[in-house]
């Protein structure tokens, strides 16, 4: 994934002639020198790169900072780059905002951003590394829910189901202009074993209809979590789509992010054999991102483990 986003950045800067980028406020797009600059989640305090601007994520719940009107926020970011003499090259975005706390905005959110970007001569990179391959349940690619056509789509981890492979999908004219001006080489690019693994993954997703399964089981999982919300005041919000679910934990009536509770819940769930992560600026959103083969019984196990973990963590 890091390499895919790194290559997309090289393609975007070459095609546009720009050197600036915009990302969401807590995004993660990789660990190379170029992509860690695109990853506020990894920045040390006060270390925002000069060529990067951020926009708030579309947080409908509100323990994080609310997003402004999307066209306004992206416009402000583009103007800030321009004020520093930097032409914008691209906006990198995970269409389900996984590292920003998991958000599913209406289609108009990304539609307005794409319009503003293209008016400024910049490109859109849809980073589907964490959220693609049918995980959203409604589509194979999460950007499809917004009715947009990205200039790039980057793919990573899930592509080979554990076997290392990644890809960048873009338009012919972008690739051709890059080829006229730059060279690109990868020792393992086009590796036949990796490519065969990726083809097998696509076969299984289609033959086993894992996208529909993600939609059905994901709905069952969210319904179970919403029932927990009625009993646990620390659950401020349950959100997501398909098999990408966020459970935002807050501190009672103050609604402050319950970062410590989230850490304890993760550990208690691990003890019960359920591995989850945390996400969001305050690390208080439980990130439930299970395999696409998750069953109804598995979903109920997750809900049961979270119920027990919350009970123990709040009383601890």
Query: For the domain that residue 153 is a member of, what is the CATH number?
Result: 3.40.640.10
Q: Answer yes or no: do 155 and 110 share one domain.
A: yes
Q: Answer yes or no: do 156 and 8 share one domain.
A: yes
Over residues 118-165, the pLDDT tens digits come to 999 999 999 999 999 999 999 999 999 999 999 999 999 899 998 999
Do 22 and 55 touch, CB atoms closer than 8 A? yes
Q: Answer yes or no: do 139 and 49 share one domain.
A: yes
Q: Whole-angstrom Cα distance, residue 117 to residue 100?
A: 21
Domain of residue 217, CATH code: 3.90.1150.10
**Confidence grade of residue 52 (pLDDT, cut at 50, 70, 90):** very high
**Confidence grade of residue 65 (pLDDT, cut at 50, 70, 90):** very low
Q: Of 103, 108, 139, which is closest to residue 238 (Cα–Cα)? A: 103
- Written as six digits, the tokens of 23 are 């990302």
Q: Answer yes or no: do 307 and 228 share one domain.
A: yes
Over residues 238-269, the pLDDT tens digits come to 999 999 999 999 997 778 999 999 999 999 99
Choosing from 206, 237, 271, the residue where a domain stops is: 206
Q: Of 227, 243, 163, which is closest to residue 201 (Cα–Cα)? A: 163
Choosing from 206, 224, 251, the residue where a domain stops is: 206
Number of domains comprising the chain: 2
Average pLDDT score over residue span 167-176: 97
Q: Whole-angstrom Cα distance, residue 23 to residue 94?
A: 9
Residue 252 backbone class (left: φ over 0; alpha: ψ -120 to 50; beta: rest): left
Choosing from 206, 236, 255, the residue where a domain stops is: 206
Q: Answer yes or no: do 247 and 229 share one domain.
A: yes
Q: Of 108, 105, 55, 99, which is closest to residue 241 (Cα–Cα)? A: 105
Angle in degrees, 0-180, between the axes of helices 107-119 and 70-83, rounded to the nearest 10: 30
Q: Answer yes or no: do 245 and 146 share one domain.
A: no
Q: Answer yes or no: do 259 and 194 share one domain.
A: no
Do 92 and 38 touch, CB atoms closer than 8 A? yes
Q: Answer yes or no: do 188 and 281 share one domain.
A: no
Q: Answer yes or no: do 39 and 87 share one domain.
A: yes
Range of the domain at 181: 2-206
Q: Answer yes or no: do 96 and 218 share one domain.
A: no
């Amino acid at each position: 994934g890091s390499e895919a986003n790194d290559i997309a950045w090289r393609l975007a800067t070459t095609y546009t002639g720009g050197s600036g980028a915009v990302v969401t406020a807590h995004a993660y797009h990789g660990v190379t020198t170029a992509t860690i600059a695109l990853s506020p989640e990894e920045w040390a305090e006060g270390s925002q790169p000069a060529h990067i601007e951020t926009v708030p994520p579309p947080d409908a719940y509100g323990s994080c900072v609310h997003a402004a009107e999307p066209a306004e926020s992206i416009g402000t970011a583009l103007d800030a780059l321009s004020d520093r003499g930097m032409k914008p090259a691209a906006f990198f975005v995970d269409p389900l905002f996984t590292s920003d706390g998991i958000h599913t905005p209406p289609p108009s959110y990304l539609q307005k951003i794409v319009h503003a970007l293209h008016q400024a001569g910049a490109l859109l990179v849809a980073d589907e590394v964490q959220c693609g391959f049918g995980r959203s349940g409604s589509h194979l690619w999460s950007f499809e829910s917004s009715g947009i056509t990205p200039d790039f789509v980057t793919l990573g981890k899930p592509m080979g189901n554990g076997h290392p492979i990644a890809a960048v999908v873009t338009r012919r004219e972008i690739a051709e202009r890059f080829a006229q001006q730059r060279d690109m080489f990868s020792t393992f690019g086009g590796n036949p074993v990796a490519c065969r693994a990726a083809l097998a993954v696509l076969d299984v997703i289609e033959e086993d209809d894992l996208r529909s399964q993600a939609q059905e089981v994901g709905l069952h999982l969210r319904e179970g979590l919403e029932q927990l919300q009625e009993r646990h005041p620390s659950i401020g919000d349950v959100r997501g789509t398909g098999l990408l679910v966020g459970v935002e934990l807050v501190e009672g009536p103050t609604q402050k992010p319950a970062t410590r509770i989230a850490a304890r819940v993760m550990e208690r769930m691990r003890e019960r054999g359920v591995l989850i992560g945390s996400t969001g600026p305050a690390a208080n959103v439980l990130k439930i991102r299970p395999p696409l083969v998750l069953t109804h019984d598995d979903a109920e196990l997750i809900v049961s483990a979270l119920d027990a973990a919350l009970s123990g963590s709040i009383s601890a």
